[in-house]
Amino acid sequence: MTNKEQQWQDTLTPEQFNICRLKATEPAFTGKYADCKKDGIYQCVCCGNPLFDSATKYDSGSGWPSFWAALSERSVTEHVDVSHGMRRVEVVCLSCAAHLGHVFQDGPQPTGLRYCINSAALDLKER
């Protein structure tokens, strides 16, 4: 294990480490933000980078927090993910490369996107 990986493991909970650093996924309908209706900014649990505004959060029925837009172009980046026999688009924190979830093109307007994000990767800073 590298020093950086050890630092992440020392800082994050086991669930957060598995999801954010090892690209795991929390079970649907189990995350603390899946049904959250509070107003604020969702930040990266690893580095505090602002990721999503609660104004773009919606109930997709998927069991994970879903957003139709990232907060800004400095929030997230995307990578093709071909793991598990599927082709998906992985969403990661632009600041620290934490795995957040995936983005799909079946969301509501105005973007048509569904950022399907693990609650364990998020920290809500209420307004």
Cα–Cα dist 55/103, whole Å? 17
Which domains does the chain carry? 3-126 (2.170.150.20)
For residues 56 and 50, is the Cβ–Cβ distance under 8 A? no
Global pTM?
A: 0.94
Q: What is the mean pLDDT of residues 107-126?
A: 97
- CA–CA distance from 37 to each of 2, 13, 61 (Å)? 38, 24, 14
pLDDT digits (tens, 9 = 90+) for 53-97: 999 999 999 999 999 999 999 999 999 888 778 888 999 999 999
For residues 120 and 33, is the Cβ–Cβ distance under 8 A? no
pLDDT digits (tens, 9 = 90+) for 16-41: 999 999 999 999 999 999 999 999 99
- Position 4 scores a pLDDT of 81
Catalytic residue among 20, 44, 46, 116: 116
Is 46 catalytic? The answer is no
For residues 74 and 94, is the Cβ–Cβ distance under 8 A? yes
